[in-house]
Structure 1
Amino acid sequence: MTRTGIRLHAPAPGWSIPADVVVVGSGVAGLTAALRCEAAGLDTVVVTKARLDDGSTRWAQGGIAAALGEGDTPEQHLDDTLVAGAGLCDEEAVRILVTEGPDAVRRLIDTGARFDEAAGGGLELTREGGHHRRRIAHAGGDATGAEISRALVAAVRAAGRDERGALSGKGGGGRRAGAGGERGALSHKGGGGRRAGIRTIENALVLDLLTDADGRTAGVTLHVMGEGRHDGVGAVHAPAVVLATGGMGQVFSATTNPAVSTGDGVALALRAGAEVSDLEFVQFHPTVLFLGPDAEGQQPLVSEAVRGEGAHLVDADGVRFMQGQHELAELAPRDIVAKGIMRRMREQGAEHMYLDARHFGAAMWEHRFPTILAACRAHGIDPVTEPVPVAPAAHYASGGVRTDSHGRTTVPGLYACGEVACTGVHGANRLASNSLLEGLVYAERIAADIAANRTGNGPHARVPEPVERPGGPAHPLLAPEARLTIQRIMTRGAGVLRSADSLARAADRLEQLHADALDALAENGKTAEPGVDAWEATNLLCVARVLVAAARLREETRGCHWREDRPDRDDTAWRRHIVVSLNPDRTLAVRTTDTADFPPTLPQDPGASDRARAGGTTVPLQEQ
């Protein structure tokens, strides 16, 4: 691990609270980690950017994949996942997912999640792209994420008290959080024993990781929004931090991700000295409701489950163009379907294709896909009577902060799970409905590791002392309007279709934004005013630079990385991972692994010798 010394330009924390663990994010991964940590007796704080139920999880329509059906096995699930991952999955990580997954889903049901049941009893399972069996459990027809979020939020709220806590401020008197501030206190459970409750800090943007003198995690700084001021910055001091911040879809103009998905966790990890891997593999969901060529922001998703139930992809003439391209036709893995749609669009000069499910009839649409039906009708399209216009849009980051099988990153005490992490499960392309399962399984593994490695017995037994901030200038901030510029650069240069030329243009324009901000700070000490919009834009630029650097380096087409100038998969040269970190001078350090095996992370104890840094080839690059 290299200490970068880089931090966002922000006011010094004006308040702080101690904890055993702080979880950043409130999707399936974050809330599962928090519940398991609390159950192990750890004083747990959840920090979330919006409300507890406003993360990406609630937008998940299709379902959660696990070998729960008759005749299905974890081995079959493993095979489908490896095929979808196009040669870059870490088999050990996938095996953990598929073997621990069924019981993790059962524990989710025990927590209160209610999945749709078949008429004869038991879970009603469906198919999605890349799956050879019906193994997708769903809820509310097409509202699985909303149901999982509801159950987990209820469990988290039950694990704490719904009251405001005082935050310790500088100079004695306590300072209370404003709207969406600290919630909860220690809660007492039955039997006379005492369990640490879960405190939640809502409407709070995490800023940077705190570390102690030995480079171990010491907590996070964060900004609580809604106080009507720019300096609502505080800190949670804890020896363990779990990043579960979700994705970075807002780096593109059109995405299925909510507005809060600005890559904050990946950017924080890079500034802290952590490594990220496989960031070039951004999955573009093939069937997103087409709202026009200039549509920007979050776009409505048309779940893969619609195709799983028999919908057909057709062009304007009604031709099923996916037939003959793959044995599963419309149910091929997402990267193959997205490429099939893009090829047909280019052949015909069309802006979109169509998803035809008129044969479902009104009753099936209303029962099985009520959310999608309502979204389509809200935009003037009735899928009961007409085909739905669809086109690919940014959906899911298969790469992220590099972790091992326990969710540990290359920074001691910093963990990551869910979309922000790169566990090795997804490889070059995520299998449909594996994301919710990965969040569940790896969140549980993280909580077990934190509990097993806790030092001492009392509350906050080892809350480390953070190192004081260096005296030099912090990382310059971009003006909020740069967000739109970054999104358009990325969409044009690093979207579904990429080439050496398009990526070089994107890199040059991103580098100019980066250089201009650095120059302004160096020459006259000026930077954008600290605030949520500026911090988000700065985070987006950070992850965009890394994504483009990795995409330029990978000179092949594999999974959801499609290079027009390198249309073939090259296992000899590129069946390996690209790993990126941030140097103290803010340049990117890029290297490749020697093999497709997912490399280990650094030892969590800097003096330990049982784990070592992965070998690999360092790739000389100019600042990108």
Structure 2
Amino acid sequence: MTQTAENTPYFDVLIIGSGAAGLSTALRLPSDLSVAVVSKERLREGCTLYAQGGVSAVLDKENDSIESHVKDTLNAGAGLCDEQIVNYTVENGPKVIEWLIENGVDFTTEESAEGDTCYHLTREGGHTHRRVIHAKDATGREIETTLLGQIKQRSNITLLERHIAVDLITGSKLGLDDQRCHGAYLLDRQQDSVNAVRSRFVVLATGGASKVYLYTSNPDISTGDGIAMAWRAGCRVGNMEFIQFHPTCLYHPQAKSFLITEAVRGEGGRLLLPDGNRFMNRFDERGELAPRDIVARAIDHEMKRLGADHLLLDVSHRSAEFIAEHFPTVQKRCLEFGIDITQEPIPVVPAAHYTCGGIVTDQQGQTDIDGLFAVGEVAYTGLHGANRMASNSLLECLVFASAAADAIATAVDTMPPPAAVPAWDESRVTDSDEEVVVSHNWDELRHFMWDYVGIVRSDKRLQRAKSRVDLLLREIDEYYGNFRISNDLIELRNLAQVADLIIRSAQSRTESRGLHYTIDYPQTDELLTSQTTILTP
């Protein structure tokens, strides 16, 4: 049966993702537009909520400058940043911070030397100045909860919790001549039913894909859904080989995906070997404040050299009062595992953290498909290049959410209503009696990605990974075509697709640069400077 335009749910803008990118896009859209925000879990669950560090922006104009922030970002990006995009993002940084403050975000303050109250700025890896504004060590939580409070006051915004997008609905899938997005199919996880939703515009704000790795700082929902859906719909992706591994995640048998904020090192935290000796100065003159790729690779090197399962991060030389004031979230979490960070170092290990590549967009967040936008970690804008500098991620979310909202507001009057779409067809599938296939393939995927496509790569490792992911993709495609879909199957399908894109991108880059390090090509090839890896469906 075909649903008609009259009985299919319709919104002017369908936003898939409920983190900083999705919520700020929704809030910046005109209030006369009907907007839906889709969250695959509870609305407050996502990477934004767990972001501890802060937002980088030039707020201290006496001691910092736009030019300095741009230069630091370009340096971290190792020659692959789009300088125009970097300038645009950095220049708009102060404006988006002002917008957050206007919307009630309570950033940490301090008393200046003159006795005035001002915002406390910290310094993180790759930055030459203190320019990271934060809310203690729970900035993401403060931003997410504040924006969510604003969202709930907007009568034009509908919140769809516990829904996961299955696929985008495009003109080509409907047999039309247009190259446009008409909406998406959503699995209602509470009702266990798939529904079509029509929309003039769709915004992908689904975050990254770090769950493709065995160890990650990200929550379970970071399964690359937006990247995979956009790829299947015909969008290009860029720079997928550049996966950032955060150097310092808490190492403990009961700890799951808990990141130790970059600001700990920014405020003097020292990385130590098991014998208590520092080692970072042997790898980079900036020591603990070197960019994340250098620090993560150094930790990985020392762990393998020593056969250690973790190293140490020590901030106990700072006063207990300072630690309690600046790192209450880290302190509380560590105490839950019997670690008193005022008296002893924190056991740490690198873990997959951020997807620097993603769906190719322009400066307004527009993808290759008309009416389809991508904002935040899901997108490849050119800001991060071969490595993301600390706290530029939330900055990107906020700046491009504003740009996308402006572009949609400008185009809404000229965008025709979406076409009628068919209902989800389950007439030729059955309930699965082989759920073990999903769980087994999920585990296998994350293990071989960690072993073969991790911090250090090689041609042989990548070829092994490619052989395995090809087999998984065939198995998953057969399973997907025969059985009713579930949340786990959707996520596995997306993860496998993104894993394939990461592997193919890594195989195509015959050098080491930024986050991509291969023992077969350990040097940077200057001929490849500014050469972005673009894959086309």
Which TM bucket (shorter chain)? over 0.9
Match of 1:340 among 295, 298, 301: 298
Q: Which whole-Å deviations, capped at 9, do the CAs of 1:192-230 have from their partners, x for residues lacking one?
A: xxxxx1111111001111123212111111011112xx3
Task: Pick closer, same or farther for the CA change 1:199–1:516 going to 2, 3 Å.
Answer: closer
Shift of 1:374: 1.4
Asked if structure 2 preserves the Cα contact closer than 8 Å seen for 1:278 and 1:422, the reply is: yes
1:405-446 deviation per Cα after TM superposition (whole angstroms, max 9, x unaligned) = 110111111100111001100001000000001000000000
Q: Are residues 1:66 and 2:57 paired?
A: yes
Alignment of 1:502-581 (within 5 A): 502-518=461-477, 520=478, 527-573=482-528, 575-581=530-536
Within 5 Å, which residues of 2 pair with 1:152-551?
Answer: 152-160=147-155, 197-212=156-171, 213=176, 214-227=178-191, 230=192, 232-291=193-252, 298-455=256-413, 462-466=416-420, 468=422, 479-518=438-477, 520=478, 527-551=482-506
Aligned equivalents of 1:468 and 1:543: distance in 2?
27
Q: Which amino acid aligns with 1:132?
A: T
Partner residue, 1:132: 128
Give the direction of change, closer, same or farther, for the CA distance of 1:375–1:507 in structure 2 (3 Å limit): same
Q: Which runs of 5+ in 1 are unaligned?
A: 1-10, 161-196, 583-624
Structure 1 CA distance for aligned equivalents of residues 222 and 3 of structure 2: 24
Contact 1:38–1:198 under 8 Å retained in 2:
no
1-structure distance, mates of 2:264, 2:3: 48
- Report if the CA contact (8 A) 2:196-2:421 is conserved: no
Secondary structure (helix, strand or coil) at the match of 1:364 reads: helix
Deviations 1:255-297 (A, max 9, x none): 01101111110111011101111111000000111225xx8x9
8 Å contact kept, 1:517–1:527: no
Deviation at 1:397, TM superposition (A): 0.3
Whether the 8 Å contact between 2:69 and 2:90 is mirrored in structure 1 is: yes
Contact 2:453 2:503 in 1 (8 A): yes
**Separation (CA, whole Å) in 2 of partners of 1:567 and 1:466:** 53
Unaligned runs of 5+ in 2: none
**Shift in Å at residue 528 of structure 1?**
4.1
**Conserved 8 A contact 1:49-1:204:** yes
Partner of 1:56: 47
Point out the more displaced range, 278-287 or 344-353: 344-353
Quick one: distance in 1 between partners of 2:259 and 2:476? 35
What is residue 179 of structure 1 aligned with on the other side?
Answer: none
The answer for the alignment partner of 1:104 in structure 2 is 96
| Distance change (3 Å), C-alpha of 1:91 and 1:268 | same
Which residue identity is paired with 2:90? V
| Deviation sequence 1:441-480 (CA, Å, 0-9, x none) | 0000000001111225xxxx73210465899999x99724
Please give the TM-score of this superposition, normalised by the length of structure 1: 0.80
Q: Deviations over 1:35-55 (max 9, x none)?
A: 11134x322111111122112
Question: What's the offset of the Cα at 1:529?
Answer: 3.3
Residue type of the partner of 1:68?
L
Partner of 2:142: 147
Between Structure 1 and Structure 2, the one with more helix by share is 2
Does structure 2 retain, via aligned residues, the 8 Å contact 1:216–1:239? no
CA distance in 2, matches of 1:531, 1:211: 22
Alignment-derived partner of residue 25 in structure 1: 17
For 2:463, the aligned partner's letter is A
Residues 106-152 of structure 1 show CA distances to partners (whole Å, capped at 9, x for unaligned) of 0111011010011231110000000000001110x100000000110
The structural deviation recorded for 1:298 is 4.2
Distance 1:286-1:271 versus aligned 2 partners, 3 A rule: same
Which one of the candidate residues 27, 40, 44 is aligned to 2:35? 44
Following TM superposition, by how much is the alpha carbon of 1:581 offset from its aligned partner in structure 2, in angstroms?
3.1
Q: 1:241 to 1:526 in 2, by over 3 A?
A: closer
Cα distance change on mapping 1:528 and 1:379 into 2, 3 Å: farther
Take 1:512 and 1:528, find their aligned partners in 2: how far apart are those partners?
19
**Counterparts of 1:558 and 1:473, CA distance in 2:** 48
User: Which position in structure 1 is the counterpart of 2:85?
Assistant: 93
**Preserved contact between residue 288 and residue 390 of structure 1 (Cα < 8 Å):** yes
Question: Post-superposition, which runs of at least 4 consecutive aligned residues in structure 1 deviate over 6 A?
Answer: 11-15, 469-474
Distance 1:573 1:68, change over 3 A: closer
* Aligned length, in residue pairs: 519
Which residue of structure 1 aligns with residue 105 of structure 2? 113
Shift of residue 299, structure 1, vs aligned partner: 1.8
Q: Structure 2: how far apart are the matches of 1:300 and 1:517?
A: 30
Greater Cα offset, 123-132 or 570-579: 570-579
Deviation at 1:66, TM superposition (A): 0.2
2:118 is paired with a residue of what secondary structure? coil
Preserved contact between residue 479 and residue 528 of structure 1 (Cα < 8 Å): no
Secondary structure of 1:347's aligned partner: helix
Q: SS at the partner of 1:377? A: helix
Amino acid at match of 2:248: T
CA distance in 1, matches of 2:257, 2:92: 33
Q: CA RMSD in A?
A: 2.3
Shift, 1:376, TM fit? 1.3
- CA spacing shift, 1:526–1:349, aligned 2, 3 Å: same
CA distance in 2, matches of 1:510, 1:109: 45
- Name the SS of the counterpart of 1:47 in structure 2: strand
Deviations 1:10-38 (A, max 9, x none): x9989631111111111111011001113
Shift, 1:503, TM fit: 0.9
CA contact (8 A) 1:314 1:355 kept: yes
